[in-house]
Structure 1
Amino acid sequence: MFRGIDEVDWASMEHAYGSAADVPELLRGLASPLPQERETALDGMYGAVHHQGDVYDSTLAAIPFLFTLAGHPGLPDRGGIVELLASIGAPEDADGLAHGAGDTTDGEDGENHEGDEDDEDRDGLGDDNRAMARAAVRAGAGLFLELVTDADPEVRRAAPSALVRFHGEPPRVLALLSDRLRDEPEDGVRLALVEGLGLLARLYGGSAAPAVERLVSLCGPEHDPGLRLAALGQLASCAADRLPADLVPTVVGLLHTRSQRIRPAGEPVRTSSDTLIGSLRGMRPADEEGARLLRTLHQALGARTEDRIALLKGQLSSRNTADRCNAVWMSAGLFREWRGAYEEPVALIGEQLGSDEERLRSAAVSVLEFLFTLATPAADRLAVLVEAGPESGGPGTATLDRPLKALARCGDARAVPALAEVLRGPAVPNDTGYVVGHLGPAAAPLASLLRRRLAEVPLDSPDTYHHAAPLLSALGTLRYPAAVPEVLRLLHGAPRELRLRDALVKALARTLGAFGPGARAAVPTLRELLTGENAVAAADALWAVEGDVEAVLPVLLGALAPERDAGRRRAAAEAVGRIGAAAAPALPALRHLAGSPEVWERTTAACALWDVAGDPDPVLPVFREAWRRNVYTRGTVTACLVRMGGAGAPVHDLLRAELASPRRHRARSGGHGSHDVLEDELLLRSCRTALETD
């Protein structure tokens, strides 16, 4: 299997973590007799050699050995190797999915995702390697013809997709898939064959019309419900005009019939290696096949939110726990990507919180957590769980109890007593402070407890910043100046060599600024900081506390200078904007920044230009371009348009188009952030507010 592997100069090649000298060990691990070693090796291939879909020189060198392994009869887990080969050979955007992208998460307080300067301009690095990888996998695609009839059902399940993608003879592939559908005994493999037909139809369009006809034939009542569901899902993605008019009732009926026929199975034996692949396997739904069927259909229906909501309601009404669990997970993709009236499905998801099935309860809480105010229809059920006690671990655990987090995030005051108990506990989870901020004025009773916990934060711990920042965020949101002594304790006492000290000082200054004039006791300290690394943050806070333009404006003007780093210039522009007309001496620097090649710097400077000068002419062209180039600027732009009122009318067409769009502005294939739904709902609210001036 590994002839010639030692003749390859792996050490001269690279993967995601540097030298590729360890690739031969990973390849040999794929052939290990031990399941855990095989899983660890596959995890290593994805984690280093094919990291996040990238293709390196070592990836190309590994392809021949992967083909040898995939074609070795009797070798276990070859299905995973076939999938790896297909992933390596796929283009970066394969069949509408961002290749190799994973889930992205934001911090509890959100982030701007400013890394993509231009959503339309993508980095071309690695394009040559991807092209060579695709050619190499195409060259070996004859093996996939053989693997469609392999003795191992997992190999047969992985083969159809790879065969369709890389074999250059669609008629031959279509004939083989159709033949195998007649002879294949395994239900899971039959579904993979149907998926192959759908992929063939999507990739080859009109020339693959026979594939569409085959899918239509599989929708007939003589076929198994699972096969019919699979065919409907594929038709929805490649020939929606051939779907039945009563699609949703048909699907719900097939789903219920299928659920009655399958018997609940025990959990499959899974390897327990500490790998990403092992973790993903542990998260699989109880009915993987059902989840796959419904996921395909939901994704194919896309923006048909009314149909998808009706389908979810049908799934959530099933007597089968696995069906309801799958529905909850399916709802996550719908909520994250598309806008709609979700009160009914959210309420039904809330009903699942009363289930005796832990997997179902956990799925429901996971979805409700990222919905924020959209979870309100489930708030009563969440409140019942919160009142019953911690989900697991309770106060003192690393993270906040999840039902409590979901309840607080939707702004429900019933979360306050439980949060008070957490704040009185032996240790406060770091996300507690950020969660408090979503409660608004209802969280006022927690202010004194937050102040007390801030007083207990150690001054010289490696985790000082991580413990303090959430508490500071909450206290700033509540505008609680009684905590000024505790803030000053950290400002004065944190050692200069403290890890993340600059981030801590910025957070402390931001909190003092939020306190406003009530933080006058901090003025001497803030003035001392005006000459240091955190001068901009100190100046911003000092203006909010004291309003002394003469003291802060020279600092901010200095930070706006071209030789300063971009982050400092942006922070200074934001601070100047908050000062308003009194910061008129900064206008030349702001006009210069508004012509910056960096979209976020232009956008920030344009906002400040309006706030200082009140002139829309230099501002609106910047907003229009930023709106187009980077969706993450839209919240900032719209917030400024709210302040502009009628002066922003020339770009209100952008806001109307946004409100008319069915897709969330941050939706992207292959990943999501924990605050994407929240930020989208806030954007929609700001768009409506700005348009009220029309």
Structure 2
Amino acid sequence: MFRGIDEVDWASMEHAYGSAADVPVLLRGLASPRPRERETALDGMYGAVHHQGDVYDSTLASIPFLFSLAAHGELPDRGGIVELLASIGGADSGDDSGEHGEDGVGPGEDTGDAADAEDDNRAMARTAIRAGARVFLDLVADGDAEVRRAVPSALVRFHDEPPRVLTLLRERLADETEESVRLALVASLGLFARLYAESAAPAVDRLVSLCATPNEPGLQLAALGQLASCAPDRLPADLVPTVIALLHTRSQRFRRSVEPTRTSTDTLIGRLRRMRPADEEGAQLLRTLHQALGARTADRIALIEGQLSSQDTADRCNAVWMSAGLFREWRAAYEEPVALIGEQLGSEEEQLRYAAVSVLEFLFTLAAPAADRLATLVESDPDSWGCGTATLGRPLKALARSGDARAVPALAEVLRHPVVPNEAGYTIGHLGPAAAPLAPLLRERLGAVPLDSPETYSRAAPLLYGLGTLRYAAALPEVLRLLHGTPRELRLRDALVKALARALGAFGAGAHEAIPALRELLTGESAAAAADALWSVEADAEAVLPPLLRALGSERDTGGPRVAAETLGRMGAFAAPALPGLRGLAASTEVWERTAAACALWDISGDPEPVLPVFRAAWRQNPYVRGTVTACLVRMGGAGAPVHDLVRTELASPRRHRARSGGHGGDDVLQDERLLGDCRAALDAAS
């Protein structure tokens, strides 16, 4: 297995953590007779040699030894080695071809020499895995079911004789008795149909026949999911009722009782345990189908509602988790499924309650149909509020984010404790005027923040945000205490000063006593933030223009140019002397700076000509700037009409503007709903 391993100059190679001199130890660990050592070695290969999907020179050098290990029939846990080989070859890169998806490189990113070298390594890795793929042929009928489960997709992706592979898959499906392997074979038929469209007909026909396989609901569900991804026109007309019936049959026939999770702490281990589906196989089957259905939101909503009608808590839990991807990626009317998810909050199964809260938490105002259930849960369990802890209770956070005033009493109790969860200050703003009673408590907590602690910024920033949102100028003494009292060498002091300035700006004229302090900051690193606040407090253009003009030309990584442009825009005609600098910034290579400058050009000059081309380009380059662009289009009214085609296209799109492969942000749904509101407002303003 390791012939020649010591002749490789591993020390001259690298992996994610530097020298690859330890790679032979990891490779030998994969062949250890001790399960723990094998698991540790595989984890090390993923963690260093194939870190987050990267391919290094040491990764390439490992491939022959990994193939040798996979082919060694007496070695346990070879299924994981086959999966590692497939991943190195590009099987996990985001799409079926193993190449970069459309989100592989972000807007405006420069790939550079390092990225080119990495792409070369990836290409060489794919070539090496294809060259060794004959090993996979010998493993299709291996005695280890985990190996047989891992091999089919690797064969489809990397073997250079597709007809032979398809014949082999169909033969193995007829002979295989292990259900998990049969499901993997079905998934590989769908993968084959997607990768080899010109030869897909036999694979599609086999999937269609599998959809009608009697007494095998799991296999039928798998076939339907694959068919949806490669030949949706061959799906049955009654897809949703068929899937729900199969799901219920599978649950009744094959489900073993699952012990409820007893972990109630909010530790990382507890979270991972609760997030793990009680029925992982069922979760994968339904996830595949949901992903394949994509924009067919009506079918997906009906499917989720059907799943939530199951008597089996694992089915309902899977439905809740499935809904997360739907809500994050697609726009639709979700009142009914959200209300049904709210119903799960009354379950005695902790995993189900945890799943429901997790989904409701990122829906913000879309969680309103579940607010009654959330409020009941919050009121019934004060121990879950997060009093005296670093983390705000998740049901309470979800309720507050939905804008429901019933969260206020619990948040008030949280704020009465010396330790305040960071999320509390940031969450309060979603309650609007209903949060006003919380302002004195925020002020009290801000007054207790130490002046010279490493935690000064982390404790103060959320409180300042909350006070700024509520425009509670009565907290001015506490804000000035921090501004004047924190030592200059304090960790993150610059960030703290900017947060203090933002709060003072939000107080407006009520922060009049802070004017001298803000003027002193106009020549420092926080000059742009101080000028922004000073304009809000006293609107002295003569005082704020010089630092803002300097900030327009400051280094990008300080954020100064963007902040300056935004402030100059708020100044309107008073900022006319800044127009030349803003025109220059509107040609910046950085999309956020260009967008902020274009908005300011309109707000100052009222001339749409230099603004609209910037908006059109930025809109297409980076979806994240669309909210800023659309807010300005609302102010422009009819002058923005030449780019309203972008707005209409956005409103007609079924997909959320921030939806992307490989990840999501915690406020993506909120920002998308706000964008839709601004799009409608922009069209209304022009009519």
TM-score band w.r.t. shorter chain: over 0.9
- Give the whole-Å Cα distance in 2 for the aligned partners of 1:476 and 1:547: 18
2:370 to 378, 383, 408: 378
- Give the whole-Å Cα distance in 2 for the aligned partners of 1:629 and 1:330: 30
Shift of 1:436: 0.9
- Specify the alignment match of 1:649 in structure 2: 641
- Give the whole-Å Cα distance in 2 for the aligned partners of 1:472 and 1:20: 47
Note the aligned Cα RMSD (angstroms): 2.4
- Give the whole-Å Cα distance in 2 for the aligned partners of 1:564 and 1:383: 45
Deviations 1:598-654 (A, max 9, x none): 222211110111111111110000000000111111111111111111111110110
- Give the whole-Å Cα distance in 2 for the aligned partners of 1:50 and 1:407: 41
- Specify the alignment match of 1:3 in structure 2: 3
- Specify the alignment match of 1:208 in structure 2: 200
In the TM superposition, 1:421-500 aligns within 5 A as: 421-500=413-492
- Specify the alignment match of 1:254 in structure 2: 246
Q: Which moved more, 1:244-253 or 1:181-190?
A: 181-190
2:159 to 159, 167, 175: 167
Q: Which moved more, 1:195-204 or 1:562-571?
A: 562-571
In the TM superposition, 1:606-625 aligns within 5 A as: 606-625=598-617
Aligned partner of 2:16: which letter?
Answer: A
- Give the whole-Å Cα distance in 1 for the aligned partners of 2:169 and 2:320: 32
1:118 aligns with 2:96: no
In the TM superposition, 1:56-67 aligns within 5 A as: 56-67=56-67
- Give the whole-Å Cα distance in 1 for the aligned partners of 2:109 and 2:326: 22
Give the structure-1-normalised TM-score: 0.93
Give the structure-2-normalised TM-score: 0.94
1:559 aligns with 2:551: yes
Deviations 1:209-236 (A, max 9, x none): 1111111111115251111111111000
Structure having greater relative contact order (Cα 8 Å, sep ≥ 6):
1
Q: Which moved more, 1:154-163 or 1:314-323?
A: 154-163
- Give the whole-Å Cα distance in 1 for the aligned partners of 2:549 and 2:385: 51
- Specify the alignment match of 2:595 in structure 1: 603
1:192 aligns with 2:184: yes
In structure 2, relative to structure 1, the CA distance for the partners of 1:635 and 1:393 (3 Å cut) is: closer
In structure 2, relative to structure 1, the CA distance for the partners of 1:487 and 1:263 (3 Å cut) is: same
Shift of 1:491: 1.0
In structure 2, relative to structure 1, the CA distance for the partners of 1:279 and 1:317 (3 Å cut) is: closer
Aligned partner of 2:470: which letter?
Answer: L
1:573 aligns with 2:561: no
Q: Which runs of 5+ in 1 are unaligned?
A: 102-112, 270-275
Q: Does the CA-based 8 Å contact 1:436-1:443 persist in structure 2?
A: yes
- Give the whole-Å Cα distance in 2 for the aligned partners of 1:543 and 1:296: 54
In structure 2, relative to structure 1, the CA distance for the partners of 1:121 and 1:62 (3 Å cut) is: closer
Q: Does the CA-based 8 Å contact 1:97-1:669 persist in structure 2?
A: no
- Specify the alignment match of 1:43 in structure 2: 43
Q: Does the CA-based 8 Å contact 1:479-1:514 persist in structure 2?
A: yes
- Give the whole-Å Cα distance in 2 for the aligned partners of 1:204 and 1:552: 63
Q: Does the CA-based 8 Å contact 1:52-1:100 persist in structure 2?
A: no
Shift of 1:93: 4.5
In the TM superposition, 1:224-303 aligns within 5 A as: 224-266=216-258, 283-303=275-295
Shift of 1:470: 0.7
1:73 aligns with 2:63: no
- Give the whole-Å Cα distance in 1 for the aligned partners of 2:383 and 2:636: 46
- Give the whole-Å Cα distance in 2 for the aligned partners of 1:195 and 1:686: 42
Shift of 1:251: 0.6
In structure 2, relative to structure 1, the CA distance for the partners of 1:264 and 1:97 (3 Å cut) is: farther
Aligned partner of 1:617: which letter?
Answer: E
Q: Does the CA-based 8 Å contact 2:532-2:567 persist in structure 1?
A: yes
Q: Does the CA-based 8 Å contact 2:89-2:98 persist in structure 1?
A: no
- Any idea what SS the aligned residue of 2:200 has? helix
- Give the whole-Å Cα distance in 2 for the aligned partners of 1:661 and 1:7: 57
In structure 2, relative to structure 1, the CA distance for the partners of 1:91 and 1:605 (3 Å cut) is: farther
In structure 2, relative to structure 1, the CA distance for the partners of 1:195 and 1:564 (3 Å cut) is: closer
Q: Does the CA-based 8 Å contact 1:391-1:402 persist in structure 2?
A: no
- Specify the alignment match of 1:107 in structure 2: none
Aligned partner of 1:610: which letter?
Answer: W
- Give the whole-Å Cα distance in 2 for the aligned partners of 1:338 and 1:612: 37
In structure 2, relative to structure 1, the CA distance for the partners of 1:121 and 1:607 (3 Å cut) is: farther
Shift of 1:358: 0.5
- Specify the alignment match of 2:24 in structure 1: 24
- Specify the alignment match of 2:318 in structure 1: 326
1:589 aligns with 2:581: yes
- Specify the alignment match of 1:273 in structure 2: none
- Any idea what SS the aligned residue of 1:126 has? helix
Count of residues in correspondence between the two structures:
676
Aligned partner of 1:3: which letter?
Answer: R
Q: Which moved more, 1:294-303 or 1:219-228?
A: 219-228
Shift of 1:159: 1.1
- Give the whole-Å Cα distance in 1 for the aligned partners of 2:298 and 2:12: 55
Q: Which runs of 5+ in 2 are unaligned?
A: 262-267
Q: Does the CA-based 8 Å contact 2:260-2:349 persist in structure 1?
A: no
Shift of 1:456: 1.1
2:525 to 526, 533, 545: 533
Q: Which moved more, 1:518-527 or 1:74-83?
A: 74-83
- Specify the alignment match of 1:145 in structure 2: 137
- Give the whole-Å Cα distance in 2 for the aligned partners of 1:353 and 1:562: 51
In structure 2, relative to structure 1, the CA distance for the partners of 1:539 and 1:310 (3 Å cut) is: same
Q: Does the CA-based 8 Å contact 1:225-1:254 persist in structure 2?
A: yes
- Specify the alignment match of 1:109 in structure 2: none
Shift of 1:278: 12
1:637 to 614, 629, 637: 629
- Give the whole-Å Cα distance in 2 for the aligned partners of 1:353 and 1:160: 40
1:410 to 397, 402, 409: 402
Deviations 1:544-591 (A, max 9, x none): 101111011011111113677672212211111111110100000001
1:220 aligns with 2:212: yes
Q: Does the CA-based 8 Å contact 2:96-2:194 persist in structure 1?
A: no
Q: Which moved more, 1:331-340 or 1:57-66?
A: 57-66
- Specify the alignment match of 2:357 in structure 1: 365
- Any idea what SS the aligned residue of 2:609 has? coil
- Give the whole-Å Cα distance in 1 for the aligned partners of 2:635 and 2:111: 31
- Give the whole-Å Cα distance in 1 for the aligned partners of 2:43 and 2:272: 11
Q: Does the CA-based 8 Å contact 1:99-1:670 persist in structure 2?
A: no
Aligned partner of 2:42: which letter?
Answer: L
Shift of 1:7: 2.3
Deviations 1:244-275 (A, max 9, x none): 11111111111111111013245699xxxxxx
1:350 aligns with 2:336: no
- Any idea what SS the aligned residue of 2:422 has? coil
- Specify the alignment match of 2:503 in structure 1: 511
In structure 2, relative to structure 1, the CA distance for the partners of 1:127 and 1:66 (3 Å cut) is: same
Q: Does the CA-based 8 Å contact 1:594-1:622 persist in structure 2?
A: yes
Aligned partner of 1:370: which letter?
Answer: F
Aligned partner of 2:402: which letter?
Answer: C
- Any idea what SS the aligned residue of 1:431 has? helix
In structure 2, relative to structure 1, the CA distance for the partners of 1:641 and 1:216 (3 Å cut) is: same
Aligned partner of 2:489: which letter?
Answer: E
Q: Does the CA-based 8 Å contact 2:91-2:97 persist in structure 1?
A: no
Shift of 1:317: 0.2
